[in-house]
Structure 1
Amino acid sequence: MSNPNADALTQAFAAADAGDPAPLLALYDDSMTWAGFSFDGTQRVYTKDEFLAGLGVLAQLDASSNEVVATSSYGDEIVVATIRAYRKLGEHELDIEMIMAHRFIDGRVVRGADMVPSSFEAFWAATGLAG
């Protein structure tokens, strides 16, 4: 049986990759917090605004994409997505699968966390964009 939150997440990521970030932005609640990685590989908790600002660096790349390749649902609220993340800047490329866990309340993501392989921070360090 399909989970409407998993379907919404998959569709929102596809829309963002096609150039329309509005569905993905709307999916994240304004009070959302996200446990994620900084470009140097350290973990921290982000607000929605900080999380979106971090994604803004993707505009500096030659190529970037995020594709939901699989989802798993745990009850009505938890959706874990496997994301194929591709990044390219000059000769530097990153092509990974990462995990993003989402907790939905009333159809919106209120909490999230991700896990990335070590090649994530190696890519950002090599590009010089890690700050």
Structure 2
Amino acid sequence: MSQHNADALKAAFAAADAGDPGPLVALYSDDMTWAGFTLDGSLRLYSKGEFLEAFGVLAKLDESRNEVVDCEVIDDELVVAKVRAYRRLGSEELDITMVMTHRFVDGVVTRGGDLVPSSFEKFWATVGIAA
């Protein structure tokens, strides 16, 4: 089951990058909580709606991509994904690998979290975009 979850995660991110967010939205449980970061690099808990709303900031950029480059499957429920995140606004670029953890229950993500390198918040501070 875990490899199936990893494959679903990769496919959902690929679809979102191609302009179809449906599979990614469906992959996250409606009552999911996510321990994530803000644009200034601080951490907070997000509901599914808040988590998906935060992706709206990407529309303010000239270019953005998220690609799952590797997944590690742990036991039956956990998938750790290394995600290449590319962002560009004007001449400012961010090209990082972030780590996202996912707990799957019955084929959907119920809990998760991510961590980014410090260049993430430096990029957002430089381009002057806040959520």
TM-score band, normalised by the shorter chain?
over 0.9
Corresponding letter in the other structure for 1:69: V
Distance 1:66 1:7 in 2: 15
SS in 1 for 2:81: strand
Distance 1:40 1:58 in 2: 15
TM-score (norm 2): 0.97
Contact 2:2 2:78 (8 Å CA) reproduced: no
Unaligned ranges ≥5, structure 1: none
Report what 2:43 is aligned to.
43
Give the RMSD, CA atoms, in angstroms. 1.2
Query: How much has 1:76 moved relative to structure 2?
Result: 1.2
SS in 2 for 1:10: helix
Query: How much has 1:130 moved relative to structure 2?
Result: 2.5
Contact 2:103 2:109 (8 Å CA) reproduced: yes
Unaligned ranges ≥5, structure 2: none
Q: Show CA shifts across 1:40-80 (max 9, x none).
A: 01001111111111101101100000000000010110000
Report what 2:73 is aligned to.
73
Report what 1:24 is aligned to.
24
SS in 2 for 1:19: coil
Contact 2:36 2:45 (8 Å CA) reproduced: yes
Report what 2:82 is aligned to.
82
Count residues in correspondence.
131
Report what 1:34 is aligned to.
34
TM-score (norm 1): 0.97
Distance 1:130 1:38 in 2: 9
Query: How much has 1:2 moved relative to structure 2?
Result: 7.0
Alignment of 1:1-131 (within 5 A): 3-130=3-130
Corresponding letter in the other structure for 2:128: G
C-alpha change, 1:109 and 1:2, in structure 2 (3 Å) is closer
Runs of 4+ in 1 over 6 A off after TM superposition: none
Taking every aligned residue pair, what percent have the same amino acid on both sides? 65
